[in-house]
Chains A and B, each alone.
Chain A
Amino acid sequence: MAELKDRLSTFHGGLVLKHHKELSARNEVLRLERPDSLTISLRVNRGHVSEPVVAVGDHVNKYQIIAQPIHPFGVAVHAPYSGTIRAIEEHPTAAPDAESAPCIILDTDTEDTEINYLPPLGEINRPSLIKRIQEAGILGMGGAGFPSHVKYDHQTQAQDHLLIINGAECEPYITCDERLMLDEPEALIKGTHLLMQAADARRAVVAIEDNLGGVKSLLDSTIQALNLPQIQVVKVPTIYPTGGEKQLIKVLTGLEVPSGQTPLSLGIIMQNVATTKAVYDAVEHNRPLTERLVTVTGDLVGRPGNYLTPVGSPFYQLLAAADCPMSDVDKLVVGGPMMGYPMPNADIGVDKTTNCLLLLSKDSTKPDLSTLPCIRCGDCVKACPQDLLPQQLFWYIQGNDLEESRNHHVFDCIECGACSWVCPSHIDLVSYYRYAKSELTYLDYKKAKAQLAKQRHENREQRLEDIKAERQAKRRAKAEQLKDKSKAKKEISAVLDRIKNKQADGDKNE
């Protein structure tokens, strides 16, 4: 079982980055004004689309459920405000490459006469908490968007799990988690306690980075006030990407998550602080997950800070609130500078996983240097926190040898961008790994489909053959029968009789 080490471990590689957090961390959280329309994406976890349960033209109440998951890895979607469904259509979303997905467009109004809170939970125990997490539509708000209830709804019975609350936001610029810990320590610690019950964990660790000034003492005093000594706050060194799930586990416990497995195989469950707060809200206030803190920052932003934003709010509204002139923006990035992805325009809705909007002017973005050949310097190997061989992977993918890149564990790449950052030839290595992963997934799908077709074709051939054999057997039996002359005569007369009878019947009927 996973144990917390007295002395912290380190992971391989990583980077020390300038963190730029001071821009937004010290400003008070502002609530975003109600947007006139929300574009709420129905796709989560980079794949599974939830099914809308409302129709165009319907009026919905605040917190009413508007989409139900059809896949176990989907999540429910709720309306952040009351309003009317204007459309259900494909729309670009805050996913990588602004990929289009089915979205519900909601015209909001202020008729909050009725609010559909979740039903009161009653007794708090493991099954009821897991059910609540599921019905509140909660997913990992740190970025990956993995549906949270799945982590707790595991088959491994009542083991002594270790719960890790991930407050280590290692990406530069992003401060929404830090701000949440500063503003709502009680909600966070209480939420942690709830998650411990959901996870059957006897111990919990809140991991924060050592550059967050007063957070540790604040959380420690909250823990003391609530008398929950089984929760511990640990400072981890600020090395990018400490906040990655696998890296943080390595730092805290010295253990490595095996390739292709989840932390659960080590008896560890990890949850982001924002998710923990969402669970607390769902249990204490019966509120589904419909809003989140979004950091709006960058050198162009007049009022950088954290904004309490309803899910689906268009980016342009956040930009207006943060006093950022859209015309000067060179890059609008969702997420941080390392793992974030640029957006083509600001008419895209905030997702449950959107933690930051980073707005950069031409001066502050890296000039678009042309890519030079790989010189096999090995800097990327030194930087890779997953202990992979980035340059080797690059060569395989470059040469279209995707299978070999799979053998070299391209699927273990967490796309942190450390290799691209250090590459002296400016090769955007991560884009190669993303490509390889997507293409391999596609090829696997094709292969599975071909296997199915092969199976079905063989089954069909077998069936046709069986039918043919059956017919032949029948014919042969008949022929055998007719060899006997008297029997044959009998048979013929029987057939003739039958025909006669039939004709007689037909005449009668007429």
Chain B
Amino acid sequence: MNYLLALLGMLLLAGLFGILIVWVARKFKVEGNPVVEQINQVLPQTQCGQCGYPGCKPYAEAIAKGEAPINQCPPGGQDGIGKLAALLDVEELELNPDNGVEDEVDTIVEIVEADCIGCTKCIQVCPVDAIVGAAKHMHTIIGDECTGCDLCIPACPVDCIIQIPAPLPSRIHRQEKPRLMITIEEAQKWPS
């Protein structure tokens, strides 16, 4: 009898917990893969497509599925690869040169407005809608919104889009990191 009671009790408990688990899973269901969003946050959002995917999010999805290695994003650079490696707990790789090289300075683009013929081709390829203009009217770039993806440069039939260094707001002054402290060997010789 006792055996049966215990068995019944266990079954009852198992049933209750089963219902609870199902309820929790429905109530707190996470849409999509949260890892994709985390990877996407690390990517620089230039939407340049140098990784071979049409934008940062598709690349993030590919990384999450394990289809793409983490070293295909030149704008993110080695820093970005480091962050991805830390996030996903994988080995940090060198940037794949097939995807491009890391720029020394951040750039955006500018339209040489005198040369613009108003073809709207650049507007169609801009991934962040940072170009304004209409057919047969001069176009211009909204500098604050340009990510420097350079997709508009090959699209322009008259080559009137040029790269310029990305301007910084006047409140930001980047400083150089102070010189590293001297090595132990140097210190041992000090103060000679």
Given contacts A372-B190, A454-B40, A460-B127, contact A435 B172 (CB under 8 A): no
Given A435-B176, A460-B129, also A373-B170 (CB < 8 A) = no
Q: Which residues of A contact B56 (CB under 8 A)?
A: 454, 457
Asked if A453 contacts B147 (CB within 8 A), the reply is: yes
Q: Is A27 interfacial (CB-CB < 8 Å)? A: no
A97 to B178, CA, bound (A): 13
| Interface flag for A323 (CB, 8 Å) | no
Would you call A125 an interface residue if the criterion is a C-beta within 8 Å of the partner chain's C-beta atoms? no
A contact residues, range: 35 or more
Contact between A374 and B45, CB atoms less than 8 A apart: no
Tell me the bound Cα distance from A8 to B15 in angstroms. 68
- The main secondary structure of chain A at its interface with chain B is helix
Bound CA span A99–B44, Å: 29
CB-CB contacts of A157-196 with B at 8 A, as 1s and 0s?
0000000000000000000000000000000000000000
The answer on a CB contact under 8 Å between A453 and B45 is yes
Within 8 A of B (CB), among A99-133: 99, 101
Judge whether B6 is part of the interface by a CB distance below 8 angstroms. Answer: no
A424 to chain B, nearest CB (A): 13
- Contact between B45 and A454 (Cβ–Cβ < 8 Å)? yes
**In angstroms, how far is the closest chain A Cβ from the Cβ of B83?**
11
Q: List residues of A (389-438) whose CB comes within 8 Å of B's CBs.
A: 397-398, 425, 427-428, 431-432, 434-435, 438
Say yes or no: B46 contacts A438, CB within 8 Å.
Answer: no
Given contacts A373-B184, A431-B178, contact A43 B129 (CB under 8 A): no
The reply to whether the CB of A48 lies closer than 8 angstroms to some CB of chain B is yes
Which of B56, B145, B177, B184 counts the most chain A CB atoms within 10 A?
B177
Enumerate A432-483 residues with CB–CB distance to B below 8 Å: 432, 434-435, 438-439, 441-442, 445-446, 449-454, 456-461
Residue in B129, B170, B174, B178 with the greatest tally of chain A CB atoms within 10 Å: B178
Q: Is the CB of B128 within 8 A of A438?
A: no
Inter-chain CA distance A373–B184, complex, in Å, is 8
CB contact under 8 A between A371 and B182, given known A48-B171, A441-B172: yes
Collect the chain B residues with CB atoms within 8 Å of residue A431's CB: 178
A450 and B44 alpha carbons, distance in the complex (Å): 6
Name the distance in Å between A439's Cβ and chain B's nearest Cβ. Answer: 7
- Given contacts A453-B128, A453-B145, whether A46 and B171 have CB atoms under 8 Å apart is yes
CB-CB nearest in chain A for B47: A457
Q: In this assembly, does B173 line the interface, its C-beta being within 8 Å of a C-beta of chain A?
A: yes
Beyond A47-B171, A99-B173, A445-B172, whether A432 also contacts B181 by CB under 8 A is no
Chain A residues with Cβ below 8 Å from B190 are: 370, 372
Contact of B178 among A48, A369, A428 (CB under 8 A): A428
Contact with A along B31-55 (1 / 0, CB 8 A): 0000000001000111100000001
Q: Let me know if B1 is at the binding interface, CB within 8 A.
A: no
Q: Which of A371, A427, A450 contacts B45 (CB 8 A)?
A: A450
Min CB distance B33 to A, Å, is 17
Contacts of A461 in B (CB 8 A): 55
A49 within 8 A of B: yes
For window 357-401 of A, CB contacts with B under 8 Å fall at 369-374, 397-398
Residue B117 at the A interface, CB < 8 A? Answer: no
B172 touches A442 (CB 8 A): yes
Beta-carbon contact of A373 and B168 below 8 Å:
no
Q: Which residues of B contact A425 (CB under 8 A)?
A: 181
Task: Give the residue name and chain of the A residue nearest to B43 (CB).
Answer: A450
- B29 smallest CB distance to A (angstroms): 22
What is the 8 Å Cβ interface bit string for chain B, positions 145-179, against chain A (1 contact, 0 not)?
A: 10100000000000000000000111111111111
Considering the complex, give the chain B residue whose CB is closest to the CB of A445: B172
Do B169 and A438 have beta carbons less than 8 Å apart? no
Asked if B182 and A435 sit within 8 Å, CB to CB, the answer is no
B128: chain A residues within 8 A (beta carbon): 453, 456-457, 460
Task: Identify the 10 closest CB pairs spanning chains A and B, nearest first.
Answer: A47-B171, A450-B45, A456-B128, A453-B45, A438-B175, A454-B45, A431-B178, A453-B147, A435-B175, A457-B47
Interface CB pairs A-B, < 8 A, 18: A97-B173, A370-B191, A371-B182, A372-B181, A372-B190, A373-B187, A374-B181, A398-B180, A438-B172, A438-B175, A441-B171, A446-B44, A449-B144, A451-B45, A452-B145, A457-B57, A458-B57, A460-B127
Add 12 more A-B contacts to A49-B170, A446-B44 (CB < 8 A): A43-B170, A47-B171, A48-B170, A97-B173, A370-B182, A374-B181, A428-B178, A441-B171, A445-B169, A452-B145, A453-B145, A459-B129
Q: B-side interface residues toward A, CB under 8 Å?
A: 40, 44-47, 55-57, 127-130, 144-145, 147, 168-182, 184, 186-187, 190-191
* Chain A residues within 8 Å of B, Cβ to Cβ: 43, 46-49, 97, 99, 101, 369-374, 397-398, 425, 427-428, 431-432, 434-435, 438-439, 441-442, 445-446, 449-454, 456-461
